[in-house]
């Protein structure tokens, strides 16, 4: 039993897959590589695969070493223009992780979808789009997680621990003293103040659909912020605005930090 191999088809199929993998790596690693560079590197990798088959080295130790070590390294280094060896090692590992994920998605797509014309191209592009969407979701999740930090609010001997969102869009200032206003929920306000008398200030603000609204605010004793980078910021007498609206639909955090507090 033998199989008939068309070297031009093998070249084009590997060219497409290698280019898609390099595109994923460029997005994940934030490399400024140009498309023409990635295309040439993908072509180089595809030529290497073809040579392995021409010399019947597929499945051998030499062929496997050439594909997974030599070709992978050359393709990533040339295509993404990576000079740092540490980053290059990371890129090679990511290349094979993405390759495995893309192959798994490809098999699922192949079982569940039909493409009457050029099915390999359709399966490959659909798999790439699915994996790319997953990468995009992870990037958004990582960015959002990076902006959420642990905080401790202190007021009259009471300490409340809560997660806080660092929001660059929060530009609310007290009009009298010009102090930045962070926002807490009504629930946190009740836990901090209990039934004690508190001196409140009126802070004007506006949101979409609400013009000329007033928010009550009070001064806490201190605010301790633990950043994602491991830093600890201590803010004395933070001005805390109170909102009766939920800050997060899933209760991910109970406070919105002012943009100035971490600058």
Which pTM value belongs to this model? 0.58
Question: For 59-69, how does the pLDDT look when each residue is reduced to its tens digit (9 = 90+)?
Answer: 899 988 898 88
Per-residue b or e along 132-148, where b marks 16 or more CB atoms closer than 10 Å to that residue's CB: eeeeeeeeeeeeeeebb
User: Based on the structure, what is the number of domains in the chain?
Assistant: 2
Neighbours of 52 (CB within 10 A): 20
Structure tokens at 173: 């200032």
Residues 22 and 136 in one domain: yes
Q: Where does a domain end: 118, 145, 172? A: 145
Q: Where does a domain end: 93, 124, 145? A: 145
Q: Is residue 93 part of a domain?
A: yes
Q: Is residue 81 part of a domain?
A: yes
Question: For 131-188, how does the pLDDT look when each residue is reduced to its tens digit (9 = 90+)?
Answer: 888 888 777 666 565 678 889 999 998 999 998 888 777 788 888 888 899 999 999 9
Q: Where does a domain end: 94, 128, 145? A: 145
Residue 249 has pLDDT above 60, yes or no: yes
Residues 13 and 128 in one domain: yes
What CATH number should be reported for the domain holding residue 169? 2.40.70
186 neighbors 259 (Cβ within 8 angstroms)? no
Residues 16 and 125 in one domain: yes
Distance CA 97, CA 258 (A): 39
Residues 130 and 236 in one domain: no
Q: Is residue 1 part of a domain?
A: no
* 83 confidence band (pLDDT: 50, 70, 90): confident
Residues 136 and 160 in one domain: no
Neighbours of 210 (CB within 10 A): 8
Residue-number span of the structural domain to which 204 is assigned: 148-262
Residues 160 and 220 in one domain: yes
Residues 18 and 135 in one domain: yes
Question: For 190-222, how does the pLDDT look when each residue is reduced to its tens digit (9 = 90+)?
Answer: 999 988 888 898 888 776 555 668 889 999 999
Distance CA 193, CA 231 (A): 28
255 neighbors 162 (Cβ within 8 angstroms)? yes
Residues 21 and 90 in one domain: yes
Q: Is residue 2 part of a domain?
A: no
């Amino acid at each position: 039993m033998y199989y008939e191999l068309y070297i031009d088809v093998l070249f084009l199929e590997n060219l497409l897959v290698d280019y898609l993998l390099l595109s994923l790596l460029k997005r994940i690693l934030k490399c400024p590589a140009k498309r023409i560079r990635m295309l040439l590197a993908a072509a180089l990798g595809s030529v290497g695969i073809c040579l392995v088959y021409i010399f019947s080295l597929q499945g051998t130790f030499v062929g496997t070493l050439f594909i997974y070590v030599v070709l992978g390294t050359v393709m990533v280094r040339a295509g993404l223009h990576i000079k740092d060896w540490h980053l290059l090692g990371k890129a090679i590992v990511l290349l094979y992780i993405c390759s495995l994920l893309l192959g798994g998605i490809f098999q699922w797509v192949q079982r569940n979808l039909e493409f009457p014309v050029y099915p390999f191209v359709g399966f490959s592009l659909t798999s790439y789009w699915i994996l790319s969407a997953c990468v995009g979701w992870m990037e958004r999740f990582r960015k959002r997680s990076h902006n959420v930090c642990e905080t401790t609010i202190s007021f009259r001997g009471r300490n409340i621990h809560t997660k806080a969102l660092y929001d660059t869009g929060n530009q609310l200032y007290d009009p009298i003293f010009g102090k930045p206003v962070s926002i807490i929920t009504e629930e946190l306000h009740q836990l901090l103040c209990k039934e004690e008398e508190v001196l409140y200030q009126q802070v004007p603000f506006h949101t979409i659909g609400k013009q000329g609204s007033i928010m009550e605010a009070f001064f806490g004793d201190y605010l301790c912020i633990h950043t994602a980078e491991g830093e600890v910021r201590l803010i004395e007498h933070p001005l805390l605005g109170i909102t009766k609206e939920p800050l997060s639909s899933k209760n991910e955090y109970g406070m919105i930090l002012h943009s100035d507090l971490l600058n």
